[in-house]
């Protein structure tokens, strides 16, 4: 009897849940007000945030409150806000914070809302793989309007011409280019003062760790990776690592890699590329393609760069997991916020225009005028001069048009061709067609205990092998005696236990 009663109760509850949720899906209530927290990737107040807010409110009829801390302080302020119980409705998160907040129940599960969304079913959306990469155990807690971008290898065309070589297509050719760049005086100073390339450290500071030296790491990856069968391994202990480290050591010993790579900052590497110390540079795709050129030309050098498709041994460049928009569980009307805030961001029309380029009359215009010495005809789309930095024009608002996951709707003029410089576009195209998405690695107790020490040890060994202070075998022996292998195994076990 009791069992029967319980059974009917459960059935009843399930039924009511189904009806409630189906009701909710049909009748999403429009929220009166949305509180959003965002970093400096949306125009700041000096750059016309008020106009952005007004335009957004005009398009939706919803009151928008923006909390926008200084960009360095975003995560500190966000933590304070979360700790004091004062959660915003919607906020932007880095991929690592996203996955831990999702695990802690801070974020609203938007799987269903996404599957039924206008964006996903618009026919314009090209980011299904990106969204899939954001799923945690099959559930989606966040949305990204753009890809995360990554690094590709740039080579100076003038240097290639000087040494009479073409763009390399495999490692052997790549090494030949390196060798020529070191020995054949490609910068024409007559002195032996060049290196093929420089990097900020032999291993990256954060995922995807190999992105600044992909041509040497190739198929090796020094962090935890999930294999096809779903089990986890530590890439550092895999056979491919030996080849990677020996390639680095060899190139370093031959003087291809800048000797101060260990202590370089990213800026040092850029400056060495600008002042013709190096000829190859693996750096961000897209806008940086233009920035590198402009800086080289400002120095009086040839700015033409080859955006190199990955050499044969490098399968693809890594695309970072993008920052994610998420709705908190404190939000009273998450369906409404999803529908009116997230699902409108890539609407292919006015709203997407607002998120991509900003506000007409503030950030862009079609008026007949001259901006920064360039005359524009009436009706011709162009970006306006920055309110903050005189002498420079705006390039975008929140969404980088080159990384956007959805095209504008048919019939809606896409200004990208007009605003993006050709080098940036080329580098972006090469990257897009040769990149793979980096994966979010879940975190475990064991990982938070050991991974700090483990990473420090791995990085030390990579640096010492690369600089020839240790052989690979010595490094592996030290890895074992210093406890690295044990930590690594413990973390792998804890990751496998999640499955």
Q: In angstroms, what is the minimal distance from the CB of 268 to another protein?
A: 6
Of 266, 375, 377, 496, the one binding another protein (CB under 8 A) is 266
Q: In angstroms, what is the minimal distance from the CB of 159 to another protein?
A: 17
Under rule CB under 8 A, residue 121 binds another protein: no
Q: What is the 3-state secondary structure (H, E, C) of 233-282?
A: EEHHHCCHHHHHHHHHHHHHHCCCECCCCCCCCHHHHHHHHHCCCEEEEE
Nearer to another protein, 247 or 272 (CB): 272
Q: How far is CA 15 from CA 6, 12, 18, 21, 110, in A?
A: 14, 5, 5, 10, 21
Q: What is the 3-state secondary structure (H, E, C) of 155-173?
A: EEHHHHHHHCCCCCCCHHH
Q: How far is CA 234 from CA 220, 224, 436, 441, 463, in A?
A: 11, 4, 19, 12, 18
| Contact set for another protein, span 101-120 (CB under 8 A) | 101, 104-106
Nearer to another protein, 47 or 117 (CB): 47
Q: In angstroms, what is the minimal distance from the CB of 274 to another protein?
A: 4
Under rule CB under 8 A, residue 489 binds another protein: no
Nearer to another protein, 170 or 299 (CB): 299
Q: How far is CA 231 from CA 135, 149, 240, 364, in A?
A: 18, 27, 18, 50
Under rule CB under 8 A, residue 267 binds another protein: yes
* Cβ(141)–Cβ(102) below 8 Å: yes
| Contact set for another protein, span 155-184 (CB under 8 A) | none
Segment contacting another protein by CB under 8 A, of 114-122, 252-260, 409-417, 422-430: 252-260
Under rule CB under 8 A, residue 243 binds another protein: no
Rg (CA), the chain: 26
Is 464 strand, coil or helix? Answer: helix
Under rule CB under 8 A, residue 265 binds another protein: yes
Nearer to another protein, 319 or 400 (CB): 400
Under rule CB under 8 A, residue 275 binds another protein: yes
Helix axes 240-253, 445-466, angle to 10 degrees: 40
How many residues sit close enough to another protein to count as binding (CB under 8 A)? 87
Nearer to another protein, 207 or 351 (CB): 207
Nearest to 382 by CA among 352, 428, 413, 425: 413
| Contact set for another protein, span 363-392 (CB under 8 A) | 372-373, 387-392
Under rule CB under 8 A, residue 483 binds another protein: yes
**For residue 389, cis peptide bond before it (omega within 30 degrees of 0):** no
Q: What is the DSSP string of 299-310?
A: TTS---EEEEPP
| Contact set for another protein, span 435-464 (CB under 8 A) | 441-443, 447-456, 459-460, 462-464
Residues of 390-421 as b/e, b for ≥16 C-beta within 10 angstroms?
A: eeebbbbbbbbbbbbbbbbeeeeebbbeebbb
Under rule CB under 8 A, residue 54 binds another protein: no
Of 58, 63, 65, 72, the one binding another protein (CB under 8 A) is 72
Paired residues of 430 in beta bridges: none
Of 32, 58, 70, 493, the one binding another protein (CB under 8 A) is 70
Q: In angstroms, what is the minimal distance from the CB of 261 to another protein?
A: 9
Sign of CA dihedral 187, 188, 189, 195: positive
Q: Backbone dihedral region of 390: left (phi > 0), alpha (psi from -120 to 50 degrees) or beta?
A: beta
Paired residues of 318 in beta bridges: 436
Q: In angstroms, what is the minimal distance from the CB of 127 to another protein?
A: 22
| Contact set for another protein, span 387-416 (CB under 8 A) | 387-393, 395
Site string for another protein, 191-230 (x = CB under 8 A): --x-------xxx--x------------------------
Under rule CB under 8 A, residue 137 binds another protein: no
Of 57, 59, 62, 69, the one binding another protein (CB under 8 A) is 69
* Cβ(89)–Cβ(107) below 8 Å: no
| Contact set for another protein, span 27-46 (CB under 8 A) | 44-46
Of 24, 62, 67, 490, the one binding another protein (CB under 8 A) is 67
How many CB atoms neighbour CB 61 within 10 A? 9
Of 300, 378, 410, 433, the one binding another protein (CB under 8 A) is 300
Nearer to another protein, 276 or 319 (CB): 276
How many CB atoms neighbour CB 311 within 10 A? 18
Nearer to another protein, 74 or 114 (CB): 74
Q: In angstroms, what is the minimal distance from the CB of 337 to another protein?
A: 20
Q: How far is CA 415 from CA 51, 146, 403, in A?
A: 20, 17, 14
* Cβ(244)–Cβ(218) below 8 Å: yes
Task: Return d(Cα 393, Cα 399) in angstroms, integer.
Answer: 16
* Cβ(395)–Cβ(383) below 8 Å: yes
Segment contacting another protein by CB under 8 A, of 123-131, 287-295, 309-317, 410-418: 287-295
Nearer to another protein, 16 or 80 (CB): 80
Nearer to another protein, 11 or 46 (CB): 46
Nearer to another protein, 160 or 454 (CB): 454
Segment contacting another protein by CB under 8 A, of 150-158, 226-234, 296-304, 338-346: 296-304
């Amino acid at each position: 009897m009791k069992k029967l009663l319980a059974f009917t109760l459960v059935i009843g509850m399930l039924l009511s849940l189904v009806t409630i949720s189906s009701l909710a899906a049909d009748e999403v209530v429009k929220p009166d007000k949305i509180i959003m927290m965002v970093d400096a990737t949306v125009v700041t107040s000096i750059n016309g945030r008020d106009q952005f807010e007004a335009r957004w409110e005009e398009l939706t009829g919803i009151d928008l409150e923006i909390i926008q801390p200084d960009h360095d302080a975003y995560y500190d302020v966000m933590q304070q806000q979360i700790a004091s119980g004062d959660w915003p409705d919607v906020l932007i998160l880095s991929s690592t914070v996203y996955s831990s907040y999702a695990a802690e129940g801070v974020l609203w599960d938007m799987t269903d809302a996404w599957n039924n969304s206008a964006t996903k079913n618009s026919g314009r959306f090209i980011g299904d793989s990106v969204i899939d990469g954001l799923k945690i155990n099959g559930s989606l807690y966040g949305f990204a309007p753009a890809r995360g971008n990554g690094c590709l290898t740039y080579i100076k065309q003038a240097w290639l011409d000087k040494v009479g070589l073409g763009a390399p297509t495999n490692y052997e050719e790549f090494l030949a280019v390196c060798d020529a760049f070191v020995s054949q005086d490609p910068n024409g100073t007559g002195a032996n003062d060049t290196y093929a390339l420089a990097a900020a450290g032999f291993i990256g500071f954060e995922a995807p760790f190999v992105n600044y030296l992909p041509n040497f790491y190739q198929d090796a990856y020094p962090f935890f990776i999930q294999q096809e069968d779903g089990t986890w391994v530590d890439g550092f202990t895999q056979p491919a690592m030996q080849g990677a480290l020996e390639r680095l050591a060899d190139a370093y010993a031959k003087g291809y890699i800048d000797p101060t790579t260990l202590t370089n900052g990213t800026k040092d590497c850029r400056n060495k590329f600008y002042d013709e110390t190096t000829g190859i540079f693996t750096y961000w795709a897209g806008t940086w393609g233009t920035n590198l050129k402009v800086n080289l030309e400002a120095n009086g050098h040839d700015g033409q760069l080859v955006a190199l498709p990955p050499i044969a041994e490098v399968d693809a460049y890594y695309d970072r997991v993008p920052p994610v928009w998420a709705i908190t569980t404190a939000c009273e009307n998450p369906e409404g916020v999803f529908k009116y805030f997230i699902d409108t961001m890539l609407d292919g029309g006015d709203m997407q225009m607002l998120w991509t380029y900003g506000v007409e009359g503030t950030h862009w215009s079609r008026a007949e005028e001259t901006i920064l010495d360039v005359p524009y005809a009436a009706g011709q789309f162009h970006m306006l001069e920055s309110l903050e930095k005189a002498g420079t024009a705006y390039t975008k608002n929140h969404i980088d048009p080159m990384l956007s996951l959805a095209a504008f709707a048919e019939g809606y003029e896409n200004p990208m061709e007009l605003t993006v410089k050709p080098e940036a576009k080329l580098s972006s195209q090469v990257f897009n067609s040769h990149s793979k998405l980096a994966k979010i690695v879940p975190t475990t107790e064991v990982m938070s205990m050991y991974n700090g020490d483990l990473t420090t040890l791995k990085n030390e060994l990579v640096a010492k092998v690369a600089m020839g202070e240790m052989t690979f075998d010595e490094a592996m022996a030290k890895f074992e005696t210093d406890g690295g292998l044990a930590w690594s195994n413990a973390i792998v076990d804890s990751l496998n236990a999640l499955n």
